[in-house]
Structure 1
Amino acid sequence: MAAAALMLVAPAAWSLGLGRMQVQSALGESLRAEIEVTSITPEEAANLRVRVAPPESYKAAGVDYNAVLPGTQVEFLRRADGRPYLKLTSERGVQEPFVDVILEINWSTGRLVREYTMLFDPPVTARTPAPAPAPLSGPAMSPATPVPAVPPRAAQSRPVPARAAPAEPTAPREPRTATA
């Protein structure tokens, strides 16, 4: 009988549920992350208090207290569709590729302590196009005139005539049409 009574009370005491964390910032940027709240009663939401645990809690848990954590704000918010979530923000830039955060969540009928590990990717930099090469200064050069390649002959050699100066370019020729 006592066990049945305990089971009726336990769901009310533990109805607050937290889901996955989504990190929205990269290395070097200020901290931005969101945690989905999977279940919460109106009473819990009315007096919910969430904060980053103090350094003593990190020491007791054997977890590093990262320099980005002091001053980190945690807000309980609702999306446009009404779904609740926690928003973590900090003005400090994240300098480590991963940061452990311990959250303390308190409400009128309970308390929850939850640890998350945040992973930060390197910042995405926009690739800028390579600068165009500077124009060459000096006399303009005309394109080289192609010379047909003649395969070398093993036993014969002929003298090569001297090359004449390049001729002025002419207009393209009209295409020939076949006549019947």
Structure 2
Amino acid sequence: MVFSRKQVEVYVQHISSSTSGTSRDTTEVTGQTPLGQGLRAVAAAVLLVSSLTATNAWALALGRVSVQSQLGQPLRAEIDVPSITDEEAASLQVQVAPEDAFRAATMQYSPVLNTVQFRLERRPNGRTVIHLSSEQPVVEPFLDLVVQTPWNGGRLVRGYTMLFDPPNLRPAPAPLLPSTARSSAAPAPAPSAAPAPQAAPAPARSAAAPAPA
């Protein structure tokens, strides 16, 4: 079912009037950490509605973000793209949204986002991801990101909050177990028997003297 823009705006206004300031929303981020309040979800919905170009339907979708770098390192992350057509992939552009989009979504814009680069990757196994990389290191334990993806069929906007672990909190590889010492000692070589002394040869008997005549 496809709703018109006016219907979606009315629905968002209804949610806005009935959402309390203490309600919380679970956003798709690394580690599934609960973030923000209902107001953030409403603001993000308004941002999404206002940024969509009029269209009957769209197939492009953005999924979860997976952080691959650590705190103090340049950003390395991937955003899953569970649904995209060849036509959308050919015209897709991924960008960091303007700062006013961050304010509308009650998210914080960080200067490190000025160096973020996006690359669409379609892998042999059929998986499609948007690879994120930056030149500057991430120095805060979390980083808000609002991306906009204009293409021929419209424009999609989505917000993420990425969490970064300090390097010393990453699980260390399991240590190799030392080789088990042999429980039994190797048998000592048996002492070689001393050679038996050889008997001295008997002296040759002298020839018998001839008997006297």
Question: Would the TM-score normalized by the shorter structure come out above 0.5?
Answer: yes
What corresponds to 2:117 in structure 1?
Answer: 73
Query: Match for 2:137: what amino acid?
Result: G
Q: Going by fraction, where is strand more abundant, 1 or 2?
A: 1
> Is contact 1:13-1:110 (8 Å) kept?
no
Partners of 2:155 and 2:91 in 1: CA distance? 12
**Matches of 1:27 and 1:4, distance apart in 2:** 42
Q: Is the 8 A contact 2:92 2:149 kept in 1?
A: yes
1:55 counterpart residue number: 99
1:91 has 2:170 as partner: no
Distance in structure 2 (CA, Å) of the matches to 1:21 and 1:100 = 12
Superposed, 1:97-116 pairs within 5 Å as 97-116=141-160
Unaligned runs of 5+ in 1: 128-180
- Structure index of larger Rg: 2
SS at match of 1:34: strand
The aligned residue for residue 122 of structure 1 is: 166
The separation in 2 between residues aligned to 1:14 and 1:5, in whole angstroms, is 12
Equivalent pair of 2:55/2:153 in contact (CA under 8 Å) = no
Residue 59 of structure 1, CA deviation: 2.4
For 1:73 and 1:15, locate their aligned partners in 2 and report how far apart those are by CA, in whole Å.
24
**Does the CA contact (< 8 Å) of 1:17 and 1:38 recur in 2?**
yes
Deviations 1:43-66 (A, max 9, x none): 111100111112222123321101
Which structure's residues are more often helix, by fraction? Answer: 2
Distance of 1:5 and 1:23 partners within structure 2: 34
The separation in 2 between residues aligned to 1:85 and 1:117, in whole angstroms, is 17
The sequence identity of aligned pairs, in percent, is 52
Report the 3-state secondary structure (helix = DSSP H, G, I; strand = E; otherwise coil) of the residue aligned with 2:112.
coil
Alignment deviations for residues 57-109 of structure 1 (CA, whole Å, 9 cap, x no partner): 21233211012111110111112323211011001000010111000001101
**Distance between the aligned counterparts of 2:120 and 2:138, measured in 1?**
22
**Residue 123 and residue 48 in structure 1: after superposition, are their counterparts in 2 closer, same or farther (change >3 A)?**
same
Residue segments in structure 2 that go unaligned for 5+ positions in a row: 5-53, 174-213
Superposed CA offset, 1:129-164 (max 9, x none): xxxxxxxxxxxxxxxxxxxxxxxxxxxxxxxxxxxx
Comparing 39-48 with 76-85, greater Cα deviation is found at 76-85
Residue of structure 1 equivalent to 2:64: 20
* RMSD across aligned positions (CA): 2.6
**AA paired with 2:109?**
Y
Q: Distance in 2 between matches of 1:83 and 1:42?
A: 13
